[in-house]
Amino acid sequence: MQRENYETLLEENRKLKHLISQFKTLLDSIPDPVFMKDENLRWIYGNPVILNLYSIDPDNYVGKTEDQLLPEEFAQSCIESDRQAVAKGSISKSEERARDPEGNLHFYEVFKVPSYDKHGTFSGLIGVGRDITERKEVQEALEAENKKRRENEIQLAHLAKTLEDQVRKRTAELEEEKESAMSLSYVDTLTGLNNRRAFFEKSHVIDINARNRDCGYAVIILDIDYFKHVNDTYGHAEGDIVLKECAAIVKENLRATDIEGRIGGEEFAVTLVDTSLDQAITIAEKLCDKIAMIPMGTHAINLTCSCGVSVYQPMASSFEMVLGKADEALYAAKASGRKCVIGCEFTA
């Protein structure tokens, strides 16, 4: 009986050894790294792939730990991932590295599974890895490409914004230059008053409003007497000062709705909204009185003015006709000895 039991045990042992041998042959033939460790995380098995990968002596590794077998640059990370797998208590995944015999760095995706005995006590760790170097390189290349694309997009966005800002700035400059040019085209550069063109355009608007609203307006033409004498005696620079002073007085003594302008060398014109002939004559006399008070420094200059005044009437077909009547009145003022204001009305 004992002999039969002994032979049975031998047979079972032989079968077990054969099974283990088959299992080892299977593990040895796997093209990926495979390893097994005991409860103390000491190596008990490594297939040829992982032994060759880390240049481990196949006859002298059982019972040793990572820091005894692996290169220093990889040992610590492997030990740490082992601990994490044990702590997790189930299959875990980590990324580990190794160098081939030529020194090229390889990346491995490693799955580790802790094993337990029938009492639930940790009994070891089984692991298998897969070379993901090519996948890693492709991934890194894609990430680098994506990063470069994002950087290019940022640069393009910055460039587009810079160009947009420059276009906006230049557009504003052009608009400002246009407005400045338009302003200059309507302003007398010496006196700052409306020039002849601007005076006529704005006065035409008043004329049209007067016809549509059945209201009136008056026109004054003011001419500085003997202005040529000022230029000839004291110089054109002094004459320019006189013109500026006269322009300032004209502008300061009008309403915002009135239109003033320099329409000739020493000739100024004013269009007065909703103003009668008598009111316009009073305004003209006031302007002449103020101009006569202009101080001329050390020069004893007594400025006088002649003014012609007219008032709009429906029989006048245009602003030019109203202005023409004022010009007739100015001619009459000069013919009567200057230094006076004369009004002129339309007659039927």
What are the residue numbers of the active site? 266
- What SS3 class is residue 277? helix
Contact between 199 and 208 under an 8 Å Cβ cutoff? The reply is no
Of 316, 193, 306, nearest to 259 by C-alpha is 193
d(CA 138, CA 146): 12
Q: Which of 190, 254, 174, 176 is nearest to 222 (CA)?
A: 254
Q: Which of 280, 255, 259, 281 is nearest to 269 (CA)?
A: 259
Q: What span, in angstroms and rounded, lies between the C-alpha atoms of 120 and 182?
A: 95
Beta bridge partners of 95: 109
Instruction: Write out the two tokens for 95.
Output: 């990324």
Residue 91 DSSP SS3: coil
How far apart (Å, rounded) are the C-alpha atoms in residues 99 and 46? 17
**Reading across the β-sheet that carries 122-131, which strands appear in turn?**
43-46, 34-38, 122-131, 105-116, 92-99
Q: Strand 341-344 relative to strand 305-311: parallel, antiparallel, unpaired? A: parallel
Chain position carrying tokens 């045990």: 9
